[in-house]
Amino acid sequence: MKDFPIRFVLTDEAITPSAGLALVGYLLHRTKLDKRVNALRLPTVRREVHISHSDVIRSMIGLLATGKTDFDHIEAYRQDDIFSASMGIQHVPSSPTLRQRLDQLACLPMTEAIIWEESMRLLVRQHATLSPCWTKGKTTWLPLDVDGSPFDNSDTKKEGVSRTYKGFDGFTPLFAYAGKEGYIVHAELRPGKQHVQDNMPSFLTTAIRRARPLTSSRLLVRMDAGNDAEANVHVCLKEDVDFVIKRNLRRESKALWFQIASQKGRRIDDGQTEGVQTYELCLPQKVAIDGNTYTYVQVTQVTERTMERNGQLMLVPNYEVESYWVRLEGYEHVRMSDVLALYHDHATCEQFHSELKSDLDLERLPSGKMKTNAIVLVMGAFVYNLLRLIGQDLLSDPRHPLHHKVKRRRIKTIIQTVITMAGLLVRRSRQIWMKLTRRSGYSEPLLNVYQKWREAR
């Protein structure tokens, strides 16, 4: 077989390796982000400045959508007409301008609020599909998973970097994901040493209020044992949402729990395994908040083992205890099997963390300033939602090249197959459009999604 001939030829044709950015730019066009951001006033920036605030925000969003986080990466796009046309950018800023303007915008609390509000409004406007985690009778529950994930920023001198509970230096941001698709409704950058429960009631309240307009189902807050504080329970009860919160037993006696459960609970093991007894206990709880009385339950499962698996008897019994605070509207006697199924599904948010840190490359944040990194994280969450929205709509297209059943595409897959699709920019008769090749299995689904969005305006 002869060698494949390769020739390097320079051309003036506007060829892009990121044609999928046109979808990101179109979604941004459906928001009021430009108008609201440009209305912000900075004392050190003139109103008639050459590069607007929206140019800076859109440029950073474009970088993040291609999996790049470093400010210096913008230099490769400064002369790229396709990048600016796709993202709706008037003037692409230089790397120093991008860094300095984000530093300045980060000092305005309204910047973060605007990005979050436009992100949530876009999900509502695009009718984003959020799948429930549980259905009982006529009631469905949409998961709202709250969890923290340490970001490794070792060997850096960034503001806020400190020792995390994972044993490395970095940040410990908090995230709130809605639906089984994992749309981000709230995120907050925190120093590495900050405990996950610090300021959690405020974070949880904001996450619940942002998630509520996205669905008609009941919200089900799911949290790990690090958040087993009564303050979180009070927030959920006041906001009228259901919850599954794992309890941290701390110094509670497991043997005492077994004694209580064996007397007041019910045995749930089949009795065929010798040396093992498992009991389930459901204890009603009442709490008074602002003159109103609320109820929920504490569901506990206790297992006593007196024999090893090989038949060897133990000198001292071994006890295993799992305990949860639970509220499911309309169900006072909650089964432990249902609680465990709902809580174990909460582990899916670890995949969402991975997509943020690896696929979007957000783990090592680009700035040395805490506020700027916080804004970059918020924009990263915005981009994450945009890419998730694109991926879910592409997945629902019957011409999607992958036919095996999946519920969600990884962000990395969306970047590789859609965002980095090759395209040719054509300008003619004062019009501009993008040409895609028919030989790509994703071109036709991408075009169908774009046309569907335009028809739904």
Establish how many alpha carbons lie within 13 A of residue 97's alpha carbon, considering only the half-sphere containing its beta carbon.
18
Q: Residue 276, class by beta-carbon neighbours within 10 Å (0-12 exposed, 13-18 middle, 19+ buried)?
A: middle
Percentage with pLDDT > 70 across the chain: 93
Tell me the average pLDDT across 162-180. 95
Is residue 453 pLDDT above 60, yes or no? yes
pLDDT-based confidence at residue 307 (cuts at 50, 70, 90): confident
- Spans of all domains in the chain: 15-121+368-456
What pLDDT, on a 0 to 100 scale, did the predictor assign at position 74? Answer: 95
Residue 273: per-residue pLDDT: 67
Tell me the mean pLDDT in the region 217-225: 95
SS3 annotation, 14-81: CEECCCCHHHHHHHHHCCCHHHHHHCCCCCCCCCCCCCCHHHHHHHHHHHHHCCCCCHHHHHHHCCCH
Own/partner contacts of 80-83, CB < 8 Å, gap of 24 or more, are: 80/16, 81/14, 81/425, 82/14, 82/16, 82/18, 82/19, 82/423, 82/425, 83/16, 83/18, 83/21
Question: What pLDDT, in 10s, does the model give residues 320-355?
Answer: 999 999 999 877 678 888 999 999 999 999 999 999
pLDDT at 442: 77
- Please say if the pLDDT value at position 9 is more than 60: no
Which of 107, 89, 80 minimizes the C-alpha distance to 17? 80
Structure tokens at 345: 């599904």
Ranked by mean pLDDT, which of 55-59, 75-79, 126-130 comes out on top? 55-59
Q: What is the pLDDT of residue 357?
A: 94
Exposure string for 432-444, b = 16+ CB within 10 A, e = fewer:
eebebeeebebbe
Asked whether residue 418 carries a pLDDT value surpassing 80, the answer given is yes
What is the distance between the alpha carbons of residues 449 and 406, in angstroms, rounded to a whole number? 18
pLDDT of residue 125: 93
Which are the contacts of 357, defined by CB distance < 8 A and separation ≥ 6? 149, 151, 363
In tens, the pLDDT along 94-136 reads 999 999 999 999 999 899 999 999 999 999 999 999 999 998 8
Does 416 have pLDDT greater than 60?
Answer: yes
Least confident of 29-38, 234-243, 392-401: 392-401
Question: 292-307 and 15-16 as β-strands: parallel, antiparallel, unpaired?
Answer: unpaired
* Residue 437: per-residue pLDDT: 76
Rounded to the nearest angstrom, the gap between the alpha carbon of residue 341 and the centroid of all alpha carbons in its chain is: 21
3 state DSSP class of 256: helix
Tokens 């995949």, residue located = 351
Instruction: Give 196's Cβ-side CA count (13 Å radius).
Output: 19
Q: Assess whether pLDDT exceeds 70 at residue 282.
A: yes
Q: Residue 433 — φ and ψ, nearest 5°?
A: -155, 170
Residue bearing the bigger pLDDT, 313 or 140? 140
3-state SS class at 307: strand
Average pLDDT score over residue span 391-396: 82
| Contact (CB, 8 A) for 91 and 56 | no
